[in-house]
Amino acid sequence: MADAPPLVVVAGATATGKTELGIRLAEAFIAEGRPATVISADSRQVYRGLDIGTAKVSGADRARVPHQGLDLVDPPERFAVADFVAHARAVLAPMAASGRVALLVGGTGLYLRAVARGLDLEALPDDPEVRQRLEAELTAVGLPALVDRLTALAPTLAAQTDTANPRRVLRALEIAELRGDGPRPAPLGYDGPVTWIGLTVDRTEHERRIATRARAQFDGGLIEEAVALRERYDPDLPAFSAIGYREAWDVADGHVTLDEAVATDAQRNVAFARRQRTWFRSEPDIAWLDTTSTDPFERALALARTATG
């Protein structure tokens, strides 16, 4: 984009309060006469129907401020970072001329980096047939075997990959097979002012919030949502790697109790949050705000204004 609107990035691990902070910041700009739009940067919230399990922003909250990045494709459709960047750019392109402020809010670090730092996606090739073959191999031989192959084939790329995340390993192998080894491309930059805000929370409090949210999701209809989705779609689709759906199916099928499923959901999210924290440690220039016992809004708004003028 030759011109881009001011961009406020709200990043951090799951269940740290990013969604609500993004909405409140947007409302503050709107109250000041600066129209604002939130772009969700969550790789599972792009799927229609995956609402409760992905903690997708509610209809009531979408009525508070405009939201983009949600409900873009059906679960069977492949959606990659390039697709998200294309969507985000289409949203951002007309905003600069209208004086709008954009808030890029979410925990999918690659989405945030691709938009706010400008990844050279042409240097990260993709091929649906290669990806389909690798997904079949993941099912057949398991993640450790693919990690070993990635390490042997592309050690530099492997060192930059979260090898505990199957999606990341598959993507790295896809790049390695198509491009060869080498570091990921350097960022190209964002064509407008940008400020990064990160939310963090004490580990004990974070685990409590994650457990509370897991219970609320199951109490709020996650099992019914998951069963309805399984009746329409193949449960092995990548979209359903979102935490909570397999746990919900296990309850519906009588394999585990509700309490066991909630506990597993929370445990997986704690591990996921740990991986997110590792990712964000590699991101420079993030102003981190601790939300353990303090409302970060006023400090976040002051930081956001540095991007918006």
One domain, residues 99 and 225: yes
pLDDT at 148: 95
Which of 179, 200, 217 delimits the end of a domain? 179
One domain, residues 252 and 203: yes
One domain, residues 54 and 191: yes
Provide the greatest CA pair distance for the chain.
56
CATH of the domain at 15: 3.40.50.300
One domain, residues 208 and 82: yes
One domain, residues 299 and 272: yes
One domain, residues 115 and 144: no
Q: How many domains does the chain have?
A: 2
pLDDT at 97: 84
Going residue by residue through the chain (309 aa), what tens digit of pLDDT does each one get? 447 899 999 999 999 999 999 999 999 999 999 999 999 999 999 999 999 999 999 999 999 999 999 999 999 998 988 999 999 999 999 998 888 999 999 999 999 999 999 988 877 788 888 888 998 999 899 999 999 999 999 999 999 888 988 888 998 999 999 889 888 777 889 999 999 999 999 999 999 999 999 999 999 999 999 999 999 999 999 899 999 999 999 999 999 999 999 999 999 999 999 999 998 998 999 999 999 999 999 999 999 998 787
One domain, residues 224 and 139: no
Which of 179, 197, 213 delimits the end of a domain? 179
One domain, residues 107 and 168: no
Query: Does residue 290 contact residue 201 with C-beta atoms inside 8 Å?
Result: yes
Which residues constitute the domain of residue 143? Answer: 125-179
One domain, residues 108 and 241: yes
One domain, residues 111 and 229: yes
One domain, residues 130 and 268: no
What pTM, to 2 d.p., does this model score? 0.87
